[in-house]
A and B are shown apart, each in its own frame.
Chain A
């Protein structure tokens, strides 16, 4: 009897093991549906792109190319679902860079799809040649293209000559170090960027300069970092931005109520800002964000996508990428709607050509000749200055400046350490030690 029972138990175990394995196989099979999937917790810019693409598919392709949007109640639920499903060999096929996920690590362990390999294997032209190569190639990892930027913005701030003069600076010799030196020497209170959130993002963008994700190195233990940390810390620490003040009032910019401003990146908004400043008698100036390298300007991806390597219908991704990069619906119209710069060169030229701005500054219901003249001169100055910055972009970061404090690394890995340091809870030495340890562990684990 004992022997018989042993056999029965063994057979039962084998049956249940087989059932369990079949369950796993079924899971893979169920994710093998025809439609590509995208997970979102709120209507974001990628959802808008997908909706437009789905309409395009029903008109020009077939409906199997359409992308299904799966909605979630919260970012946490969505990220947990994404992680679990990707682990089990499925998951959403399209990922947005605005999702709080460790994309650098995904690229490192090839969770993401190499678009270059995909393009080569299907011999499909996704229209990369029509796009800004500096932006498109900035995040190549060992020649592999894991990310597709769609819209970007140069890391620049707007100020006026008058404001710079107030701090004994000129546009040609502006640097954060010089600004910090001037501001710390005065006892006046000041608002650096008009918003405390932007100050924190400035700090994260400064830290980001010293991290080399591709080679798994951080340079936080150098004298250069220590010296520059003092400057940035002092700038942020003494900032007295009122969170309730709407910083983008042109009068405020002109009055120098804030030292620098982060304007929306589109040419339209740039021309508008220039027009107002010139009308109120200011001379607008563009200055680059802190850059470790010195003179070159940098940019950041505002909207970007990546693709899951587990995707079962990889061929269907290619028309979508081509649509995102080439379609005027996306590159031109959405760029204008969201006030981003499109990566497509023709769409960019189009937005520059179409930038036209005439404003009734004194609100007397007529646009006077003076107002027209100011608008015209501001337009040419803004386009000239901004184009100069854009043409000199030499590097591009994966995450938008506006959402730097929300990225996985900045919020989950170093967020607490940075907060403690900025709140004055820990010393500089301790901050550097903790930052180095956490970053090194993140980069190498």
Chain B
């Protein structure tokens, strides 16, 4: 009997392995190997081994530092804004007993609309003679150069929040629906107020959802480069010059040492953020 069980277990392992094999191969050939090559190339200039010189040079390059600064500003501003706003909207929607499926799916429209058409709309809205400036003028306020000032970053943050807010709201709504109502009832019986229920029950209970949303937002924050590229081109103004611009342009300039070391730094940047959140999630998750 025991032998039979073991044999069955072996078969299951083998089946799992066979199912995993194609994606493992894909990841190996298309991600792991290029990443290793990129790491090695970042230590060379042409045929000469230079150690970490490419990295030290990179941190002395004003344009790279500008790109790094802008990427950090965007990540640390847009993600919290998106998380808080989508969570609050989800909380608000959760207070209704029933939401129509049309209303729920309409939240996903910004994600599925093609970028090209979105860019046309954003240009109409944020152009020097566009809707926003028209409104500002009407109110007797100074107009804003959204495409060539520090407001470019505000515009990109706004586009990012607008585009992904609905998706995050749906994720948060699903997370909130999974919190057992009995917890709220017993808390209310114990005399807890709405704020206490929110901070002591709701937020800790949806930590896995929050983590997932955060993960998705990180991924989407790097995808926003498509919109930046479509709106500003290869060489945007200095306020919205991101690491992806730096990497993309160095690809065209064929500066492989700089390109590979910048890519490694970008990947480390993402890894550090995710690692920090993994640790935070481990320590503060009460969902289980």
A interface residue numbers (CB < 8 A to B): 1-2, 5, 8-9, 12-13, 16-17, 19-21, 24, 83, 86-87, 102, 105-106, 108-111, 309, 408, 412-414, 416, 430, 433-434, 437-438, 440-442, 444-445
Contact = CB atoms under 8 A, between A and B. Distances in A.
9 contacts: A5-B17, A17-B36, A105-B255, A413-B234, A433-B148, A437-B238, A441-B235, A442-B249, A445-B61
A110 B253 contact: no
Interface string B253-284: 11111100000000000000000000000000
B87 interface: no
Contact of B64 (A24, A111, A438, A445): A445
Interface string B73-101: 00000000000000000000000000000
Nearest to B17: A5
A109 B254 contact: yes
Contacts of B25: 12, 16
Interface stretch (B27-35, B109-117, B190-198, B199-207): B27-35
A86 B254 contact: yes
B29 A20 contact: yes
B238 A441 contact: yes
B252 A83 contact: yes
Contacts of A83: 251-252, 254
Nearest to B145: A430
Interface range for B:
35 or more
A127 B262 CA distance: 42
Contacts of A440: 63
Contacts of B145: 430
A13 B148 CA distance: 48
B234 A21 contact: no
B161 to A, nearest CB: 26
A24 B6 CA distance: 42
Interface of B: 6, 9-10, 13-14, 17, 20-21, 24-25, 28-29, 32-33, 36-37, 45-46, 61-64, 66, 145, 148, 233-235, 237-238, 241, 246, 249-258
Contacts of B253: 102, 105-106, 109, 445
Nearest to B251: A83
A441 B33 CA distance: 31
Q: Is the interface of A mostly helix, strand, loop or mixed?
A: helix
B24 A87 contact: no
A408 B6 CA distance: 65
B10 A1 contact: yes
Contact of A1 (B13, B20, B251): B13
A81 to B, nearest CB: 13
Nearest to B233: A416
Contact of A444 (B28, B46, B62, B251): B62
A9 B24 CA distance: 9
Nearest to A413: B235
Given A109-B257, A309-B46, A20 B28 contact: yes
Given A1-B9, A13-B28, A87-B251, A444 B257 contact: no
A106 B253 CA distance: 6
A445 B250 contact: yes
User: Which 10 residue pairs are nearest across A and B when measured between Cβ atoms?
Assistant: A105-B253, A20-B33, A445-B63, A438-B235, A109-B255, A444-B63, A111-B254, A16-B28, A1-B10, A20-B29
A23 to B, nearest CB: 9
A61 to B, nearest CB: 28
A2 B241 CA distance: 48
Contacts of B249: 441-442, 445
Contacts of B45: 110
A46 B249 CA distance: 28
A91 B279 CA distance: 46
Nearest to B259: A87
A102 B17 contact: no
A5 to B, nearest CB: 5
Contacts of B241: 441
A105 B249 CA distance: 11
Nearest to A21: B33
Nearest to B237: A437
A109 B258 contact: yes
Nearest to B36: A17
A16 B29 contact: yes
